[in-house]
Amino acid sequence: MSPQSDKQSINVKINGNSVSQKDNGKRSVFETNDLNLWYSDTHALKGIDLSFNENEVTAIIGPSGCGKSTYIKTLNRMVELVPGVRTTGEIKFKGKNILDKDFQVEALRTQVGMVFQKANPFPKSIYDNVAYGPRIHGIRNKKVLDEIVEKSLQGASLWDEVKDRLKDNAFGLSGGQQQRLCIARCLAIEPDVILMDEPTSALDPKSTLRIEELVQELQKDYSIIMVTHNMQQAARISNKTAFFLNGEVVEFEETDKLFTNPSDSRTEDYISGRFG
Ligand SMILES: Nc1ncnc2c1ncn2[C@@H]1O[C@H](COP(=O)(O)OP(=O)(O)OP(=O)(O)O)[C@@H](O)[C@H]1O
């Protein structure tokens, strides 16, 4: 099916049962319309129409090189850091086109956080990692910073493990803890949306499970858009899934539907492991 038709008829989960509704009452936070992107001559994104609702987890899946990371990096305009990038179309964040010339990218970065494949804490203490963003935004009051740090670490389900060693260097944490610290750093700026680019691909199964549980918890307060190579992960934790192939969206659906009854034979071939 086309991504557009999803906007008209959406399956939503109520008490564990999937039902079809015209509108699930949720607001769209991000929307891309006919989004195209070129790296010099490489046409990496082709006419992407997708819409993301608040308080939902949306997974982006697809084989290597299909444009998943490129797409997610357009949403905070990080992709522009690559020389030779050209974008056309529209990316609406809360109704405003972030590609407009007069759009303030700095404001976007405070509302859209990002967690990367490999945990990337700063070479600073656990406390200073989390306090970094608020300090940049001018918060100097120690009591306020203490509160933000505790709340963010609680939110990232890391507080109990680190509360007695907040002054220790972040590099002393395990890989999974470092990734949760990066999530806490992200929460400290109180974003509306969290972008995650394969956040568990460098983690062991136990740490992966921990992050998956955390993502489901965070969904209550944030909208999450997550690139993942792991189809089981997408099936476990996302509300909706977009399947990318060769820079296009083949299918965008309720996750249950996409994995049990895909509309497009290419989706079926991919999820059943025939390619990718
Ligand atoms: N910095 C870049 N310069 C030029 N081409 C790039 C750059 N980054 C990505 N590409 C190209 O854009 C296309 C999409 O790449 P992208 O990394 O978005 O795919 P992906 O689906 O995230 O892949 P993977 O799952 O392997 O991370 C590929 O053809 C890739 O070679």
Q: Which domains does the chain have, with CATH numbers?
A: 3-271 (3.40.50.300)
Rounded mean pLDDT, 80-94: 95
Rounded to the nearest whole angstrom, what is the distance from the C-alpha of residue 96 to the centroid of ligand 1?
27
Q: How far is the CA of 65 from the centre of ligand 1 (A)?
A: 5
Query: 40 CA distance to ligand 1 centroid (A)?
Result: 12
pLDDT the model gives residue 276: 77
* pLDDT at 167 (0 to 100): 98
Specify the residue with its C-alpha closest to ligand 1, atom 28: 65
pLDDT at residue 80 tops 90? yes
The span from the CA of 26 to the CA of 58, in Å, is 14
Q: How far is the CA of 101 from the centre of ligand 1 (A)?
A: 25
Nearest-angstrom CA–CA distance, 33 and 226: 19
Instruction: Give the closest residue (by CA) to ligand 1 atom 5.
Output: 39
What is the predicted pLDDT for the residue at 16?
30
* Nearest-5° Cα angle at 192, 195 to 114: 25
Does 61 have pLDDT greater than 50? yes
Contacts 24+ apart (CB under 8 A), 73-82: 73/197, 74/32, 74/35, 74/37, 74/45, 75/30, 75/32, 75/112, 75/193, 75/195, 75/225, 76/108, 76/109, 76/112, 76/114, 76/195, 77/105, 77/108, 78/114, 79/37, 82/39
Q: Angle CA(193)–CA(195)–CA(201) in degrees, nearest 5?
A: 150
Could you identify the residue written with the tokens 């306020």?
A: 144
pLDDT confidence of residue 156: 93
3-state secondary structure of 217: helix
Both tokens of 114, joined, read 């990002």
Determine the atom of ligand 1 nearest the C-alpha atom of 71.
18
- pLDDT at position 8 over 60: no
The answer to whether the CB of 38 is under 6 A from ligand 1 is: no
Provide the percentage of residues in the chain whose pLDDT is more than 90: 83
Sign of CA dihedral 270, 273, 275, 276: positive
Binned at pLDDT 50, 70 and 90, residue 27 comes out as confident
Pairing, β 96-97 against β 240-245: unpaired
Asked whether 68 lines ligand 1 (CB < 6 A), one says yes
C-alpha 175 – ligand 1 centre gap (Å):
25
64 lines ligand 1 (CB under 6 A): yes
* Residue 21 predicted with pLDDT over 80: no
Provide the mean pLDDT of the chain: 90
Q: Where are the beta strands (DSSP E) in 16-108?
A: 17-21, 28-39, 42-53, 57-61, 85-93, 96-97
User: Is the per-residue pLDDT at 168 higher than 60?
Assistant: yes
Structural contact between residues 32 and 49, judged by C-beta atoms closer than 8 angstroms: yes
